[in-house]
């Protein structure tokens, strides 16, 4: 329904922000990561997710599109509601969350309050392929094509060549981490040398 809300920051706390848009105040729940991005600013643009539940209508705001996409993915997992998703995104920024999922770091995910071992494993199983494919949380991306899309193409190409997906994902993510501006062809060449 809403893509973003841009306006003056009328009120800011670690849990929510009130955005004044032409005299209308929008109460928007935020993560600690977004809070730190907004501190000291008079106005802001928040990418929002509008959630309708039995007990009300809520706006959740994020400093970037990656963080909002993680929120959407997390809330799509059985057993994770909006409050749990906000807790996860407050404890781990998008880059840390992406790394934890791709590297299957159950311990780091369990360190978030309210997330047990089963939920941590479910997050990894349900989101790992999506994160690798879309390149969420990959940080700086080169002009043209997102690094995640290039990594996804490289993994697919290596899989066609007969290499196991699990192994190629690990190698490709390492290459992208070392050189975020690498093109698909460069990633494949480097991966072939390492496999």
User: pLDDT of 25-37, one tens digit each?
Assistant: 999 999 999 998 9
Identify the structural domains of the chain with CATH numbers, from first to last.
4-63 (2.40.50.140), 66-137 (1.10.150.20), 138-195 (1.10.8.10)
The 10s digit of each residue's pLDDT in 41-95 is 999 999 999 999 899 999 999 999 999 999 999 999 998 999 999 999 999 988 8
Q: Say how far apart CA 159 and CA 150 lie, in whole Å.
A: 14
The whole-number average pLDDT for the span 184-191 is 86
What is the pLDDT, as a whole number, of residue 142?
A: 34
**Closest of 87, 47, 85 to residue 66, by C-alpha:** 47
Q: Identify the pLDDT of residue 143.
A: 35
Closest CA to 82 of 12, 121, 30, 123: 30
Specify whether the CB–CB gap between 97 and 68 falls below 8 A.
no
| Mean pLDDT (the chain, rounded) | 87
pTM of this structure: 0.69
Of 79, 135, 149, 140, the closest CA to residue 102 belongs to 135
- What does the alpha-carbon distance between residue 195 and residue 192 come to, in Å, rounded to a whole number? 5
Q: In the prediction, which pLDDT does 137 show?
A: 67
**Closest-CA residue to 73 (of 32, 30, 127, 117):** 127
């Amino acid at each position: 329904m809403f893509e973003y809300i841009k306006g003056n920051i009328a009120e800011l706390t670690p849990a929510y922000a009130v955005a004044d848009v032409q005299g209308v105040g929008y109460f928007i729940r935020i993560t600690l990561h977004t809070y730190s991005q907004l501190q000291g600013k008079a106005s802001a643009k928040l990418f929002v997710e509008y959630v309708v539940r039995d007990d009300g209508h809520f706006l959740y705001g994020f400093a970037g599109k990656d963080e909002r996409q993680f929120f959407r993915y997390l809330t799509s997992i059985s057993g994770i509601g909006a409050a749990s998703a906000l807790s996860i995104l407050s404890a781990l920024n998008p880059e840390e969350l992406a790394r934890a999922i791709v590297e299957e770091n159950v311990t780091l995910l369990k360190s978030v309050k309210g997330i047990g071992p089963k939920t941590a494993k479910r997050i990894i199983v349900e989101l790992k392929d999506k994160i690798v494919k879309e390149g969420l949380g990959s940080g700086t991306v080169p002009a043209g094509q997102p690094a995640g899309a290039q990594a996804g193409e490289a993994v697919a190409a290596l899989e066609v060549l007969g290499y196991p997906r699990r192994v190629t994902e690990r190698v490709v993510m390492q290459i992208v981490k070392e050189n975020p501006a690498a093109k698909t062809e460069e990633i494949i060449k480097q991966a072939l040398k390492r496999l």
